[in-house]
Amino acid sequence: MACQFVKEEHQRVKKFLNFDDRQDYDDAHRGFIADIPDGIIKSEDDSIVYNINETNFLEDECPETVNPSLWRQCQLNRVHGLFEVIKGKIYQFRGYDIANMTFIKGEKGWIVIDTLCSVPGCKAGLELFRSHVDRLPITAVIITHSHGDHCGGLEAVLEENTVVYWPMNLREEFVSEKMLAGVAMDRRCVYMFGQNLPQSKEGFIGCGLGQAGCQGSKSHL
């Protein structure tokens, strides 16, 4: 139950922003190809590491307990599956992690940009991609930066001749952030995202920039 102050603030947001503009929803669904069966990703030991069905409540109208702008953003982030961005050339796996995984067709094979939070999530995205698009080799992987949702699943896409590109000093950045500032940053995340709350209208809604990280084993850079 939202208090009066929260209700009034959320009403102010509704009046300030144009919620009648549905262009972002159309854009988010454009190019949809296929989804993971049942919306569930499992790890090597058959445990569930991501279940999109836990966020089905986002299909409802925004409740008074949630900022309408956050609700709308999480609805957009939740649009999930494999999408064709540019016909025959660029594809994306979306909605099963904080980040997206992008596939670009190069001269000799596929170039993968970012590999999500975990190996099971990245593997599931790759398998979905392989089942609907040309099965060319993965010639290169580009890791854009050191945050875990962009590099955690790396080993799932590596093949014998795959070349990996990442920013200079990426390992140093990764270590300094995870080991030196990691405890403080993890505590910040608890407050910033409410990630220890159950997923519900009164709990964890989403991360804002993405829905939620896929769990499971991580790659070592």
Label residue 195 by pLDDT band (50, 70, 90): confident
* 187 lies in some domain: yes
* 58 lies in some domain: yes
* 40 lies in some domain: yes
Is residue 221's pLDDT more than 80?
no
* 204 lies in some domain: no
* 59 lies in some domain: yes
What residue numbers bound the domain in which 26 lies? 4-193
Mean pLDDT lowest for which of 28-37, 170-179, 194-203?
170-179
Across 58-64, average pLDDT: 95
Across 143-168, average pLDDT: 91
pLDDT tens column, 68-111 = 999 999 999 999 999 999 999 999 999 999 999 999 999 999 99
In the chain, how many domains are there? Answer: 1
3-state secondary structure the chain: CCCHHHHHHHHHHHHHCCCCCCHHHHHHHCCEEECCHHHEEECCCCCEEEEHHHHHHHHCCCCCCCCHHHHHHHHHHCCCEEEEEECCCEEEEECCCCCCEEEEECCCCEEEECCCCCHHHHHHHHHHHHCCCCCCCEEEEECCCCCHHHHCCHHHCCCCCCEEECCCCHHHHHHHHHHHCHHHHHHHHHHHHCCCCCECCCCECCCCCCCCCCCCCCCCC
* CATH at residue 92: 3.60.15.30
* 100 lies in some domain: yes
* 206 lies in some domain: no
With pLDDT > 70 as the criterion, what percentage of the chain qualifies? 100
* 219 lies in some domain: no
